[in-house]
Chain A
């Protein structure tokens, strides 16, 4: 078991940037997820760590040892690929035992360990079958068993659940979590699915365009996204644009494009007149029917915007409300249960607390 350290790693494919100046630390025993849209460099990062690719710049350390120049055979890293990539001509047992055999483990040892792995992934009965005789979910488990059978220092998984359907994917997430905890192996996981990342990870690294944008626990990313990209990628969010009126003190006031004035928790002192982007999560919004009646004043200090309820999407345990504020501004609110008193086409008022507002200065990436 061991941690991983990437130091300013850069990899280009000709003109195309795979990853650029990527610095990242993965702690021992940690489950870290690389999250980002397709093409952001997740696979490239994994393949650099696995040793299938070599960086033009930077160093890669596994367990404190510089492995940048080592071939994959000597890195002691297990890899699970998106569409399994099992050896089609070998049985499940032979697939799982492959790494042990290559490392010269004695026969009995291999047999015992393969049994153990099959138990671990809960497929004790299928050792003699060929990969093509298995379902997708079974193949994925075998791929995982193969990768961890020889107890590598580090486990890499590239969208391992991407090819499975939703129900199976959820079941497999639970399995993966259980297995990773049971083995205690440092794991780097790749997905473009934010929910999957949240349900599995100790920490998440968000990538965009080959660069690392932010690393943190799911909670940190959700509560304090470093920029609009992260905020948007991690959960749903409403963006509003405006200029600073008063930026001194912990709560700034901002004038929105449509003229409304709101109060925002400020990350630091703000220059009056600066353009800013503010954002509020849908579940932070409270919604009242019958604006402009002044009920929200009952909760002092709340920001409020009036609009028309455009659409209601009932989802069982919550309801999504789409509130049209102006021509080009619609807010999404997520409220619990059913809100029978709200009707589409009627005026509503949305309110939220200044502490629930996020703020970034425009033209400032960090």
Chain B
């Protein structure tokens, strides 16, 4: 590649990043505004952390709920997703594509519709059995697993399709049982894909508004829904501060996971060993 082309490419990349990051920069700078104004001021007037100190402690509760739901969804979707992907990739049936499409379906249904459907479903269920899922952790979790499962199934299917089954045969011939082989060979090799999928699942769950909106209530709510209502009815710049913290939290989570679990392994797994 010529130098000029390379510079051109670099410029395009920078422009795209600038476009993607601009909203966050506005958000972060506004949250640091020193003014008294109860509206978004950009560019900020003076810098201060006063809005950060003014974040109401009540958000802590919804933050905790969001983290708990996110982690639980990631774990549940991870477990179900690996099982589903194994069935899809390893099963012997002719209509595999159909099965794949089935597991992708939650992505194709608008989230708001999914939210309404879960709401209706929980109503009906309550009417029929007396089991109350609305405004409950379990109810929220089920809906979040529903919307995040396709991400795990997708990534795990991708790594399983590339997986060399002879690794398992090698383990069998060395005396390992099927379960041991799965635990000591298959799972470690596909782990990057599983983690990537679970990370997606966490992020999808953690940031979700449209589905949660229908299923939460005053007794149990998630941070994004809490923020959403505050923006609507009760704006103050502390919300900007909190939003900024949420973004920073998400980025740190991803970096930490990358550190701990070696997400770069995924890139390497893609390249042929």
Contact = CB atoms under 8 A, between A and B. Distances in A.
Interface of A: 50-52, 71-73, 75, 77-79, 81, 85, 87-89, 98-99, 102-103, 131-132, 146-147, 150
B43 interface: no
B264 interface: no
Given A87-B185, A88-B189, A73 B170 contact: no
A98 B173 contact: no
Contact-size category for B: 10 to 19
A85 B174 contact: no
The SS class assigned to the B binding surface is: helix
A77 B169 CA distance: 11
B167 A79 contact: no
A67 to B, nearest CB: 12
List the 5 closest pairs (A to B, CB-CB), nearest first.
Answer: A99-B174, A102-B175, A72-B172, A89-B188, A79-B173
B189 A89 contact: yes
A78 B273 contact: no
Contacts of A103: 175
Contacts of A71: 172
B177 interface: yes
Contact of A75 (B164, B173, B189): B173
A73 B273 contact: no
18 contacts: A50-B169, A51-B173, A52-B172, A72-B172, A78-B173, A79-B169, A79-B170, A85-B164, A85-B169, A87-B171, A87-B189, A89-B189, A98-B176, A99-B174, A102-B171, A102-B174, A103-B175, A150-B175
B253 interface: no
B174 A150 contact: yes
A73 B166 contact: no
A190 B164 CA distance: 20
B120 interface: no
B180 interface: yes
A50 B273 contact: no
B185 A73 contact: no
A365 to B, nearest CB: 35
Contacts of B189: 87-89
Nearest to A74: B175
A72 B169 contact: yes
Contacts of B171: 87, 98, 102
Contacts of B185: 87
Interface in B152-210: 164, 166-167, 169-177, 180, 184-185, 188-189
Interface string B129-166: 00000000000000000000000000000000000101
B167 A87 contact: yes
Contacts of A72: 169, 172-173
A85 B166 CA distance: 7
Given A73-B173, A102-B174, 17 more contacts: A50-B169, A73-B176, A73-B177, A75-B173, A79-B173, A85-B167, A87-B170, A87-B189, A89-B189, A98-B174, A98-B176, A98-B184, A102-B171, A102-B175, A103-B175, A146-B170, A146-B174
A25 to B, nearest CB: 22
A357 to B, nearest CB: 46
Contact of A77 (B166, B173, B177): B173
A99 B177 CA distance: 11
B93 to A, nearest CB: 16
A85 B170 CA distance: 7
Contacts of B172: 51-52, 71-73
A302 to B, nearest CB: 54
B180 to A, nearest CB: 7
A52 B177 CA distance: 13
A75 B185 CA distance: 20
